[in-house]
């Protein structure tokens, strides 16, 4: 009875669905917005709105309470007093639009969209081999698979590269995302994962011919 019990945050399927939908919206913008200028303008507007909202809800507690009630189904309790994950994601999108190629940006958002919630679902349900900060080997492997397959398909559908190259870059991005998720503890992984994936894919690109 005295043995410690590991606290497991309950699965929020609504948040997971919102997570995937947000990633697909970002992917659609990268794929179909006419050029980098338009994409950067869209990312600036999104990030600017997010940080304006963050600032406003810190100054006016009633605004904060109203927003948390509105986004209650997809928000974590700690986001009541900390920068929320959507704001960190908006910031990452701004960096992707400004500094990375469409290939790297595509993998950044797709790997996050599918890998992160898959790791949470599989890790909580089947995780037995503990790694660090509550993560499990099973969840990390689920991240790699769930990030690799959609990432590969996204590149094939929208980028002018071959099958072998798309598969290799998707694998690089999925592994980079999984490792980043494993070691992200101080900074929100909705920021660190897409940026780390884009950096890894960019570093691999000269060797992959992109």
pLDDT of residue 3: 46
Q: Which DSSP state fits 11? A: P
Residues of the chain above pLDDT 70, percent: 93
- Give CA–CA dist 136/193, Å, rounded: 17
pLDDT tens track for 65-119: 888 888 877 777 777 888 899 999 999 999 999 999 999 999 999 999 999 999 9
Average pLDDT estimate for 182-197: 91
pLDDT band at 205 (very low <50, low <70, confident <90, very high): confident
The predicted pLDDT at position 70 comes to 82
CB 139 within 8 A of CB 127: yes
Which of the given ranges, 108-112, 133-137, 203-207, has the highest pLDDT on average? Answer: 108-112
At 99 the pLDDT is: 95
For residues 25 and 18, the answer to whether their CB atoms sit within 8 Å is: no
Residue 133 pLDDT: 74
Residues 127, 98 contacting (CB under 8 angstroms):
no
- Give dist(CA 28, CA 156) in Å, integer: 14
**Alpha carbon distance 106, 122 (integer Å):** 24
Q: Measured in Å, how far apart are the chain's first and last C-alpha atoms?
A: 57
> Residue 200 pLDDT more than 80?
yes
pLDDT top residue among 16 and 56: 56
Q: Which residue has the tokens 């309950």?
A: 10
| Both tokens assigned to 1 | 């009875």
CB 147 within 8 A of CB 114: yes
The answer to whether 173 and 201 are in contact (CB under 8 A) is yes
Which residues make beta-bridge pairs with 130?
A: 136
> For 8-41, how does the pLDDT look when each residue is reduced to its tens digit (9 = 90+)?
556 678 888 988 999 999 999 999 998 999 999 9
Predicted local confidence at residue 97, as pLDDT: 96
Band of pLDDT at residue 7, cut at 50, 70 and 90: very low
Q: Is the pLDDT confidence value at 132 over 80?
A: no
Question: How far, in Å, CA of 61 to CA of 66, rounded?
Answer: 9
State residue 10's pLDDT score. Answer: 60
pLDDT of residue 4: 43
* Residue reference for tokens 């000269």: 206
């Amino acid at each position: 009875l005295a043995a410690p019990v590991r606290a497991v945050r309950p699965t929020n399927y609504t948040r997971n669905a919102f997570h995937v939908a947000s990633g697909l919206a970002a992917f659609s913008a990268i794929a179909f917005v006419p050029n980098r200028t338009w994409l950067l303008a869209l990312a600036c507007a999104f990030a600017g709105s997010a940080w304006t909202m963050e600032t406003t809800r810190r100054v006016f507690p009633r605004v904060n309470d109203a927003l948390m009630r509105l986004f209650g189904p997809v928000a974590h309790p700690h986001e009541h007093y900390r920068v929320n994950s959507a704001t960190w994601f908006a910031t990452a999108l701004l960096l992707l639009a400004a500094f990375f190629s469409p290939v790297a940006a595509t993998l950044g958002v797709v790997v996050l969209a599918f890998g992160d919630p898959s790791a949470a679902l599989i890790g909580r349900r089947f995780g037995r081999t503990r790694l660090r900060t509550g993560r499990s080997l099973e969840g990390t492997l689920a991240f790699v698979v769930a990030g690799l397959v959609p990432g590969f398909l996204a590149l094939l559908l929208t980028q002018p590269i071959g099958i072998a190259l798309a598969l290799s870059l998707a694998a690089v991005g999925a592994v980079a995302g999984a490792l980043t998720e494993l070691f992200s503890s101080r900074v929100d992984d909705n920021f660190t994962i897409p940026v780390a994936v884009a950096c890894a894919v960019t570093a691999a690109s000269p060797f992959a011919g992109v």
